[in-house]
């Protein structure tokens, strides 16, 4: 067996453990982004003009600053300045989640705006408060429409998570780098890392595609299927 294959074989269990870390970071960030992103989108569509401006600034902030800068700002800057003791892993999830919330909010906002306005009116005409109409009528439909955009967001987050290696999070990239510099098998190891990312992207987007199909509203055609 050539040396490069042996290097990959030896490192594989170690790299796969890293992909578990990557997946937890990505899942945590997606979940945090969803939790914050939905209220942001609702606020931006239905909120008071002042609230909309505040949300606009939030979105601008987290979409405008590079990930690496934000990671350092939070981990080395804020955590030290405020004397908060957080692990690099936790900071990675929080920062990626906050950035993702800004992007996800725009996915949801677009989805909400694409719904026919009349349904919101009809819900209120039944006596629903705005909040009920949004929770039971608008969001169930908007979230369905958001799945394709969400699958984009997943693949971007997955790749961005490699940057958290700079904080020392033991994800795929950090581990590949660690082994590569010790064994001098750079090519096979970074290649292996790349392939793991490709597989994870495929599995995730495939899963979201299946979810999209599963929650499709009967009677609506699925284009291209």
Partner 1 sequence: MASPILRIENVSKRYGKKDVLKGASLTVHKGDLKILIGPSGAGKSTLLQCINFLVKPDEGRIWLEDQEVHYAHKRNLYAYRQKVGMIFQDFNLFDHLNALENVRIGMVKVKGMAKAEAGERAVMELERVGLKDHMQKYPAQLSGGQKQRVSIARALAMDPKVMLLDEPTSALDPELIGEVHAVIRDLGNNGMTMIMATHQIGFASSLASEIIFMEDGQILERGTPEKIFFQAENARTKEFCSKITELYGETR
What is the DSSP secondary structure assignment for residue 135, as one 8-state letter? I
State which residue, 81 or 220, has the beta carbon closest to partner 1.
220
Applying CB under 8 A, which part among 20-28, 30-38, 76-84, 117-125 lies near partner 1? 117-125
The SS3 assignment for 84 reads: coil
State which residue, 91 or 147, has the beta carbon closest to partner 1.
147
Least spacing, CB of residue 104 vs partner 1, in Å: 20
What's the CA gap between 162 and 170, in Å, rounded? 10
What's the CA gap between 145 and 206, in Å, rounded? 16
- In the chain, how many H helices and how many E strands? 10, 0
Choosing from 140, 168, 194, 207, the residue that interacts with partner 1 (CB under 8 A) is 140
Give helix 186-214 / helix 3-46 axis angle, nearest 10°.
40
Which residues have a Cβ under 8 Å from the Cβ of 222 and sit 6 or more positions away? 213, 216
> x/- binding map, residues 201-220, to partner 1, per CB under 8 A?
----------------xxxx
Position 116 contacts partner 1 (CB under 8 A): yes
Size of the site for partner 1 (CB under 8 A): 22
Binding site for partner 1 (CB under 8 A): 116, 118-119, 121-129, 132, 136-137, 140-141, 144, 217-220
């Amino acid at each position: 067996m050539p040396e490069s294959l042996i290097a990959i074989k030896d490192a594989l269990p170690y790299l796969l453990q890293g992909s578990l870390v990557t997946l937890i970071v990505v899942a945590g960030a997606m979940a945090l982004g969803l939790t914050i992103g939905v209220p942001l989108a609702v606020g931006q569509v239905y909120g008071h003009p002042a609230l909309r401006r505040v949300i606009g600034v939030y979105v601008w902030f987290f979409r405008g600053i590079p990930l690496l800068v934000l990671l350092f700002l939070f981990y080395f800057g804020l955590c030290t300045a405020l004397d908060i003791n957080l692990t690099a892993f936790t900071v990675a999830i929080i920062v990626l989640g906050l950035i993702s919330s800004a992007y996800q909010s725009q996915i949801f906002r677009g989805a909400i705006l694409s719904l026919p306005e009349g349904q919101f009116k009809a819900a209120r005409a039944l006596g629903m408060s705005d909040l009920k109409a949004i929770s039971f009528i608008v969001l169930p439909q908007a979230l369905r429409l958001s799945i394709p955009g969400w699958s984009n967001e997943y693949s971007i987050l997955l790749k961005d998570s490699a940057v958290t290696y700079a904080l020392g999070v033991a994800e795929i990239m950090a581990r590949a780098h660690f082994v590569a510099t010790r064994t001098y098998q750079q090519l096979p190891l970074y290649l292996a890392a790349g392939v793991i990312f490709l597989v994870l992207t495929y599995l995730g987007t495939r899963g979201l595609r299946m979810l999209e199909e599963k929650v499709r509203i009967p009677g609506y055609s699925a284009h291209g299927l």
